[in-house]
A and B are shown apart, each in its own frame.
Chain A
Amino acid sequence: MELSRYHPNNLKRISEGMINIHPIQRGGILTEEAKKILLSWSDGYSVCDVCLEGRVDLIKNPPINQLKQDVAEFLGMDTARFTAGARHAKFVIMSAFKGGTLVLDSLAHYTSYIAAELNDMKIYEVPNSGYPDFKINPEGYAQTFERVKEETGSYPDIALLTHVDYRYGNLVDAEKVGKICEEYEIPLVLNTAYTSGLMEINGKKLKASFIVGSGHKSWAATAPIGILATNYELADRAFQTSKVRGEWSGRAFTKKELSMFGCSPVYGLPVITLMASFPKVVERVKRWDEEVEKARWFVKEMEKIEGLQLIGERPKNHTLMHFESPAFHSIAKSHKKKGYFLYHELKKRGVFGVQAGMTKNFKVNTYGLSWEELERVANAFKDIAEKYGVEVED
Chain B
Amino acid sequence: MNFRDYFEIPLNPVAVIFKKEEMDAEGEYRFCEAVRIVAERGERIVINEFNLMCAGALVSLGFVTELAEEGETRSIVLEPYRGQECDVVLVVATPDRIMRISSYYKNLFDEELRAQFAGETAVCGEATARVRDTGEPNISFLCPGAREIGNYRREEVVLGFPKDVFVRIETAIRKQEVRALCGCLMDDLPKDLIERFEQMGFDKSTDHFFGFVNGKSVKLYIFKGEKNTLGIYTSVKFKSEEEAERVAESYTGEYVLMPRENWIEIMKVSDIDVFQEYRKPDFEKRLNSEIEKIVEEARRIKGLKARA
Contact = CB atoms under 8 A, between A and B. Distances in A.
B275 to A, nearest CB: 16
A167 B205 CA distance: 12
Contact of B205 (A133, A303, A314, A360): A360
B217 A131 contact: no
A361 B184 contact: no
Contacts of B211: 326
A324 interface: yes
Contacts of A361: 205-206
B217 A309 contact: yes
Contact of B212 (A303, A314, A330): A330
B203 interface: yes
Interface in A303-343: 303, 307, 309, 314-315, 324, 326, 329-330
A131 B260 contact: no
How many residues of B sit at the interface, in one of the four size bands? 20 to 34
A309 B231 contact: no
B259 to A, nearest CB: 9
A300 B249 CA distance: 23
B219 A132 contact: yes
B4 to A, nearest CB: 15
Interface in B198-233: 203, 205-208, 210-212, 217, 219, 221, 223, 231, 233
B152 interface: no
Contacts of B21: none
Name the prevailing secondary structure of the A interface residues. loop
A360 B203 contact: yes
A131 B231 contact: yes
Contacts of A360: 203, 205, 210
A297 interface: no
Given A130-B221, A131-B233, A309-B217, A314 B260 contact: yes
Given A307-B217, A330-B212, A324 B260 contact: no
Given A130-B231, A309-B263, A329 B203 contact: yes
A153 B265 CA distance: 41
Contact of A132 (B184, B212, B223, B265): B265
Given A110-B184, A326-B210, A360-B210, A131 B203 contact: no
B136 interface: no
A131 B265 CA distance: 10
Given A303-B237, A326-B210, A330-B212, A130 B205 contact: no
A74 interface: no
B235 interface: yes
A326 B207 contact: no
Contacts of B207: 130-131, 134, 167
Interface string A33-77: 000000000000000000000000000000000000000000000
Contacts of A314: 260-261, 263
A98 B221 CA distance: 36
Interface in B233-260: 233, 235, 237, 258, 260
A326 B260 CA distance: 19
A111 B235 CA distance: 34
B203 A315 contact: no
Given A307-B217, A309-B263, A326 B235 contact: no
A359 B220 CA distance: 18
Given A167-B207, A309-B217, A309-B235, 17 more contacts: A130-B207, A130-B223, A132-B233, A132-B235, A132-B258, A132-B260, A132-B265, A133-B260, A309-B263, A314-B261, A314-B263, A315-B261, A324-B219, A326-B210, A326-B211, A326-B217, A360-B205
**Nearest 5 pairs between A and B by C-beta?**
A131-B221, A314-B260, A131-B208, A314-B261, A326-B217
5 contacts: A130-B207, A133-B260, A167-B206, A167-B207, A326-B217
Interface of B: 184, 203, 205-208, 210-212, 217, 219, 221, 223, 231, 233, 235, 237, 258, 260-261, 263, 265
